[in-house]
Each structure stands twice: as C-alpha cells, then as structure tokens.
Amino acid sequence: MKKKSQKRATRIGVCSALAGGAVGFALGMLFAPKRGPDARRRVAYQLEQFTAQAEGFLRRLLRSGVESEGRRNSDAVVEDAEARADHIRNDIDALMERLRQASQEVDQTD
C-alpha cells in the first residue's frame, strides 16, 4: 500500500510540475511586451529550457531511490510525462498562433 501511495505522489508531483510550468509559460507569453520575431525566439528558447528542465527532473526522479517496482514502472511514467509534454507543446503552439494573429492584427491597425 505504501508503494502505491509513493507512486501516486510521484506521478502527481511530475504532473503538477509540468502543468505549473506550462501555465506560467503561457501567462508569461500572454503578457509579454514583445511582439513578432522577438517573441517567437523567446518562446523557442524558453521551450528548450523547459524541456531540458523536465528531462533533468525526470532523470533525477528515476535515479532517486524508488527501486524495483519504481524501476519497472519508470517507462510508464516517462511515457506519461512525454505525452503531457506533447500536450503542453501543442498548447504552446496554439498560443503562439494566437499571438501571431494578434500581432498581425495590431500591425495592420497601426
């Protein structure tokens, strides 16, 4: 029972970290004062940084101590994290498209 609880807590922690990062990133981009190419470069850079941090977090998590059962289930956790990261990337792409369209509308009105 304790192992299930630990596994669940780990999964919730990973999901919470990914979701929090995505929400923070999205809000930051929505309120960013820069437009156009600068914003796209900034998004690309921050997405790379976020991906690197998530990968590092997953590596540390996998190395950190939950042996036997945790090791057997690590593939499932990684797949779940990758699926969530893909979902976050898709959300970011959609936000970028909205930002691009809004930027074009502002440029046309100027």
Q: Convert the pLDDT of each residue in 10-64 to its tens digit.
A: 777 777 777 777 777 777 766 766 666 777 777 778 778 887 888 888 777 777 6
**pLDDT higher than 80, residue 92:** yes
Q: For residue 102, give both structure tokens.
A: 């809004």
Structure tokens at 34: 């820069």
The tokens for 18 are: 């990914």
In this prediction, residues 97-110 reach a mean pLDDT of 79
Rounded to two decimals, the pTM is 0.38
Measured CA to CA, the distance from residue 50 to residue 19 in angstroms comes to 11
The number of domains in the chain is 1
Residue 3: Cβ within 10 Å count: 12
Question: 79 is written with which tokens?
Answer: 């797949």
**What is the span of the domain harbouring residue 70?**
2-109
**Which segment, 5-9, 61-65, 70-74, is predicted with the most confidence on average?**
5-9
